[in-house]
Amino acid sequence: MIHSLFLINSSGDIFLEKHWKSVVSRSVCDYFFEAQERATEAENVPPVIPTPHHYLLSVYRHKIFFVAVIQTEVPPLFVIEFLHRVVDTFQDYFGVCSEPVIKDNVVVVYEVLEEMLDNGFPLATESNILKELIKPPTILRTVVNTITGSTNVGDQLPTGQLSVVPWRRTGVKYTNNEAYFDVIEEIDAIIDKSGSTITAEIQGVIDACVKLTGMPDLTLSFMNPRLLDDVSFHPCVRFKRWESERTLSFIPADGSFRLLSYHVSAQNLVAIPVYVKHNISFRDSSSLGRFEITVGPKQTMGKTIEGVMVTSQMPKGVLNMSLTPSQGTHTFDPVTKMLSWDVGKINPQKLPSLKGTMSLQAGASKPDENPTINLQFKIQQLAISGLKVNRLDMYGEKYKPFKGIKYMTKAGKFQVRT
Amino acid sequence: MSSNSFAYNEQSGGGEATELGQEATSTISPSGAFGLFSSDLKKNEDLKQMLESNKDSAKLDAMKRIVGMIAKGKNASELFPAVVKNVASKNIEIKKLVYVYLVRYAEEQQDLALLSISTFQRALKDPNQLIRASALRVLSSIRVPIIVPIMMLAIKEASADLSPYVRKNAAHAIQKLYSLDPEQKEMLIEVIEKLLKDKSTLVAGSVVMAFEEVCPDRIDLIHKNYRKLCNLLVDVEEWGQVVIIHMLTRYARTQFVSPWKEDDGLEDNEKNFYESDDEQKEKTDKRKKTYAMDPDHRLLIRNTKPLLQSRNAAVVMAVAQLYWHIAPKSETGIISKSVVRLLRSNREVQYIVLQNIATMSIQRKGMFEPYLKSFYVRSTDPTMIKTLKCYNFLTYVKSQDKQFAAATIQTIGRCATNISEVTDTCLNGLVCLLSNRDEIVVAESVVVIKKLLQMQPAQHGEIIKHMAKLLDSITVPVARASILWLIGENCERVPKIAPDVLRKMAKSFTSEDDLVKLQILNLGAKLYLTNSKQTKLLTQYILNLGKYDQNYDIRDRTRFIRQLIVPNEKSGALSKYAKKIFLAQKPAPLLESPFKDRDHFQLGTLSHTLNAKATGYLELSNWPEVAPDPSVRNVEVIELAKEWTPAGKAKKENSAKKFYSESEEEEDSSDSSSDSESGSGSESGEQGESGEEGDSSEDSSEDSSSGQESESGKFPSKNILWYIPQEKEKKTKQDRNPLTKDVSLLDLDDCLYSCLCTNENSCAASSNEWKRTSCQLLLSETALHFW
């Protein structure tokens, strides 16, 4: 399966290599560099590159290319998914996944990679287990280790590895038993010129942060489970209970994990919480264009819209913009032609607007199209799909846990065409 | 940092375990920070001393630095003797790091590596399962051929270990040993057989992986474990699931009869490679009424379904391909939702998934229609786009990313050809695009319009005129060539413009691209034939220019055309046909999706992504005609055996009803013949579309025969030509009679035309092709004189 792994930074240096089978010369990466050169941007490097003797599968995250070298047929998604898992694990271990961090922790990285794959086949990828095998570095532990000579490496086989619940270790103890769930929904939408919705859909996740003693068995039920159209679960969720009762029944992993991600069925109309009024016009003769946008709340169920951010890629012909916002701050980068306006909170009584003029390149004809406006926003305490958790029950343990549920709606890829 | 850690070391001296003496450590003070290594000899000397010290912390420091070197790809092999001594260290972290080092360098220093073996052998008997497992892991990972027998022994022992974790590692070790010494195969298969019986979910994934690597053809080993694997599947860890699902897909394809019923089988016959050969078709038909799904088959399909909800994209894709390849067509629909969900994942996942979706949707249209919305922005995908409105496209065409815009335009073209109702809308949209300022967009539109017009040329004189005007402004060669070709083809419909265009072109001939020059020549020839009064001199002029061109393709073409159209006493026979040759109606090209030919690879595999066979790709076999005995899967439990008897009965009925087959066979044969005809027709179209196929040696006579066939409808008077035995053509080119010559020239024009139709990417290919055709041309020319 996975033969070797190379980590390459954005300037093209291989700063880490790991081989699980015989050593593959790093010159194999030359093919990768070639492909990288051809694809002008990092995002455009093809994930699968065939070379005469190997295949290079890569993912690009945190400005690092993770390039896996494969020799034989293997489902490409298998490798890609694994590489993403590697990145997630690093992030979990070190907080961030960046070149300096990996370089500083090269030994831990190496030990982790060694545990994750054996002969190129995934061995332990569950971060709970890995953390028992190799403890993540903390300042305290480094100090203690240097003093006592103890190590980061556990000498016992993680109990989870053998049990039927590999995601949870035994003997967990907390003084405060708590279980928090965050329901986070994202709206992806494209709004056309006239303000009508071309496409809109809602994706959601439920992130859990569970700190419970022992082996609790939780059941989470919804008021309106029918809303959930297409779901994917953390391995801990019992499929059968979901199929028959539409409730989530699970023995949770310890700590933070993503319990569920879902998609809201297409039949439900998506409430669009924001509208944008825009008036962007170029004229053929003049070198000045008009620019005016106003953002306002639409269907928000009485909640305030926060963290509003408007960005727009202006056409190449725009040299500069002189704008005045009624609130917030705005910037325009004349090199990348990126306009961004940090609006903040929307006050329905006084709608935020951004007005002004654009100066265009003299003599150049007017741009073909008006720029598209990208929106970001957040609404606390609201799941826009209307999804509601009914109750959370715990079995198997005696104590009373503290439970909490939070809802939030965010903009995903929210575009307004003008 | 050096002074710091040093201070700690001293402090810790007392508190540390008893084995550490109070030795002064001044000699081994670690120098420099971790990040700064050089392969400096001195430094290595330093490390050696640290490794030989009595202090674990010093050793650990040294090992950490060495691992750092390995990670950076620096050579640390000369430290091997010093490192290998520490293999028996009691400190588990040092031990682990030594293992890392060993695995990396043992291959290079085999003799020294042997020193460590006894430690591993001892560790294999350790009461701690983790230590046993890791010893086995390392032992099997050091690729030293001498220890093969020891490895074999260790694997055998470990496969009977009480701890499933150790057994899992044994399964991994099997693959390693196999790659080290393939001669151990037989023995290893025995171990695999034993491990396949294992009931632990932990082992299942790894042993199936070993099975796939070592003996994928020994399907008989699976029989007894099939049901167990199906039932365990949900609880196996996700990576194991992927491997098991892929294996079971292959298994099901060999062990069960096809669940694809005839009604959907029929539409598949044309598209689906499984039924592409006639034999296979018969089987599908025969089966249609008697089919009853094997309960084991059903078991697999049922048990994999919940996995569609996995968070792991690879698992979802594996289940999707399983459904695609082995589930009844009516049930395949459920995968589309999950697959579409994957599209919201990372870009790399999207890339792979989209490719797979493309293949699926080409074969089974409509599967993804409910999810059209999900494809909105990233749509380069033919079928789903089919039903989208054209204006939506037009928005994308305005996109900044010009490459994307070009792809969109091509898609519009495909969309227009596939659904006749929207052709007009598309065409209008494209014509609007012609006034776009961006050159690439215009060029791309021209090419697509050309293809579209070719299919229904009658009513579009206006567009042609418009395009003729554009000729002044467009500079992209492919587009210019396309316009010229269009005008040439339709020169009778636009009698006034055509000569004028030719005049302009004659003026700029020398500065044109080769591709355009060829089309100017073609246009000249066509006009000469239809409207010789006005254009005779012009054509002569162009031919003269062409004769002295630097490019030999152009010179060839010039000579060829001159011989053909300018009447002289020698070439009388052929020039009679000149008009027909040049103005023959060309079959409209089929606009095919580039994803068309991927379908012969199993979905979700690397080979499928690359559209090329990857090393170690296992072909998915066709469905068997009759299901092999299902009882082989019975485990020695009596109740189970009872349950499966109905399946056996069904099979008997199956064979009893074979009398259906006769009449159906007949139907089939007629079906297949018509199939092959239409197939050849579209083949010539494909030559136009995709460069690779156009490249497939037009001059080989077998190939050209297919071209003949497709043209046969249009030349009823010449029908006799098509009966000329192919062998005769093959013999020698010189003794061709004029009729065959004629044929070859016709082919040639077809081939010229196909060169033109090819997109930019095939230009390179076509120039190769030209070398071949020009040889042929010269030959026929000599033959002409002979005549």
pLDDT digits (tens, 9 = 90+) for A320-346: 888 899 988 999 988 888 899 999 888
Contact B71 A26 (CB under 8 A): no
A173: pLDDT strictly greater than 90: no
pLDDT tens-digit series, residues A236-271: 888 888 888 888 999 888 888 888 888 886 666 778
A150: pLDDT strictly greater than 60: no
The rounded radius of gyration (Å) of the Cα atoms in chain B is 35
Give the pLDDT of residue B382: 33
> Does A301 contact chain B (CB < 8 Å)?
no
Contact A81 B437 (CB under 8 A): no
CB A386 within 8 A of CB A380: no
Contact A111 B316 (CB under 8 A): no
Residue A67, strand partner residues: A6, A58
> What is the spatial distance between Cα B356 and Cα B400, in angstroms, rounded to a whole number?
27
B residues 692..721 contacting A (CB < 8 A) = none
Domains A178-270+382-416 and A274-380 share a fold: yes
Give the pLDDT of residue B663: 40
> Does B316 contact chain A (CB < 8 Å)?
yes
Closest-CA distance, A59 to chain B, in angstroms, reads 6
B residues 239..258 contacting A (CB < 8 A) = 239, 242, 246
> Does B9 contact chain A (CB < 8 Å)?
yes
Angle CA(B525)–CA(B526)–CA(B531) in degrees, nearest 5?
Answer: 105
Of the candidates A14, A75, A164, the beta carbon closest to that of B73 is on: A14
3-class DSSP string for B752-782? HHHHHHCCHHHHHHHHHHHHHHHHHHHHHHH
Contact A107 B370 (CB under 8 A): no
| Interface contacts A/B by beta carbons within 8 Å | 234
Q: Please name the residue ranges forming H helices in B422-551.
A: 423-434, 439-455, 461-470, 477-489, 497-508, 514-530, 532-547
Give the pLDDT of residue A164: 62
Give buried/exposed letters for B742-755 (b at 16+ CB in 10 A, else e).
Answer: bbbbbbbbbbbbbb
Q: Pick A2-148's CATH classification: 3.10.20.590, 3.30.565.10, 3.40.640.10, 3.30.450.60.
A: 3.30.450.60
Q: Which two tokens stand for residue B667?
A: 């139907």
> Does A30 contact chain B (CB < 8 Å)?
no
> Does B5 contact chain A (CB < 8 Å)?
yes
Contact A55 B353 (CB under 8 A): no
pLDDT tens-digit series, residues B575-617: 566 666 665 555 544 444 444 555 566 666 666 666 666 666 6
Residues of A in contact with B617 (CB under 8 A): 73
Give the pLDDT of residue B395: 46
Closest-CA distance, B146 to chain A, in angstroms, reads 17
What sign has the CA pseudo-torsion B409, B414, B415, B421? positive
Determine the average pLDDT of the residues in A223-231.
83
Residue A214: left (phi > 0), alpha (psi -120 to 50), or beta?
left
Mutate to test the interface with B, among A77, A109, A243, A269 (most CBs of B within 10 A): A77
DSSP string, B592-646: --TTGGGGGSPTTSHHHHHTSPPTTPPPPPPPPSSPPPGGGG--S-HHHHHHHHH
pTM for this prediction:
0.67
Report helix angle B738-757 to B514-530, nearest 10. 130
Contact A121 B400 (CB under 8 A): no
> What is the spatial distance between Cα A65 and Cα A56, in angstroms, rounded to a whole number?
11
CATH class of A274-380: mainly beta
CB B638 within 8 A of CB A94: no
Contact B614 A22 (CB under 8 A): no
Mean pLDDT, chain A, integer:
83
Contact B71 A16 (CB under 8 A): yes
Please give the share of chain A, as a percent, with pLDDT higher than 70: 90
Report helix angle B201-214 to B185-196, nearest 10. 150
Mutate to test the interface with A, among B64, B93, B339 (most CBs of A within 10 A): B93
Contact B309 A55 (CB under 8 A): no
> Does B415 contact chain A (CB < 8 Å)?
no
Contact B9 A146 (CB under 8 A): yes
Contact B314 A77 (CB under 8 A): yes
The burial class, CB within 10 Å (0-12 / 13-18 / 19+), for A374 is middle
Residue numbers in chain B where pLDDT is lower than 70: 1-43, 260-292, 358, 361-445, 447-464, 470-475, 490-495, 531-532, 565-787
Mutate to test the interface with B, among A118, A126, A239 (most CBs of B within 10 A): A118
Q: Pick A178-270+382-416's CATH classification: 3.10.310.30, 2.60.40.1170, 3.40.190.10, 3.40.50.720.
A: 2.60.40.1170
> What is the spatial distance between Cα B198 and Cα B159, in angstroms, rounded to a whole number?
9
Of the candidates A72, A149, A198, the beta carbon closest to that of B614 is on: A72
Chain B nearest-CA residue for A44 = B347
Mutate to test the interface with A, among B348, B601, B613 (most CBs of A within 10 A): B348
Give the pLDDT of residue A377: 92
More confident residue, B681 or A182: A182
Where residue A9 falls among pLDDT bands split at 50, 70, 90?
confident
Give the pLDDT of residue A181: 93
> Does A368 contact chain B (CB < 8 Å)?
yes
Give the pLDDT of residue A342: 92
Chain A nearest-CA residue for B129 = A157
CB A323 within 8 A of CB A354: yes
Residues of A in contact with B56 (CB under 8 A): 149
Contact A234 B311 (CB under 8 A): yes
Closest-CA distance, B613 to chain A, in angstroms, reads 8
Of the candidates A22, A72, A199, the beta carbon closest to that of B143 is on: A22
Give the pLDDT of residue A289: 83
Contact A153 B352 (CB under 8 A): no
Domain map (residue ranges) of chain A? 2-148, 178-270+382-416, 274-380
The rounded radius of gyration (Å) of the Cα atoms in chain A is 26
Give the pLDDT of residue B654: 39
Determine the average pLDDT of the residues in A90-99.
85
Contact A121 B311 (CB under 8 A): no
Of the candidates B8, B165, B400, the beta carbon closest to that of A146 is on: B8
A357: pLDDT strictly greater than 70: yes
Chain A nearest-CA residue for B336 = A230
A residues 206..245 contacting B (CB < 8 A) = 229-235, 239-240, 242-243
Contact A60 B92 (CB under 8 A): no
Give the pLDDT of residue A341: 92
Where residue A408 falls among pLDDT bands split at 50, 70, 90?
very high
Chain A nearest-CA residue for B399 = A369
Q: For B183, phi and psi rounded to 5 degrees?
A: -70, -15
> Does B15 contact chain A (CB < 8 Å)?
yes
Least confident of A108-122, A355-369, B485-499: B485-499
B residues 544..583 contacting A (CB < 8 A) = none
Report which of B202, B189, B200, B307 is spatially closest to residue B246, judged by C-alpha positions.
B307
Of the candidates B12, B35, B309, the beta carbon closest to that of A233 is on: B309
Residues of B in contact with A142 (CB under 8 A): none
Residues of A in contact with B374 (CB under 8 A): 201
> Does B377 contact chain A (CB < 8 Å)?
yes
Amino acid at B204: A
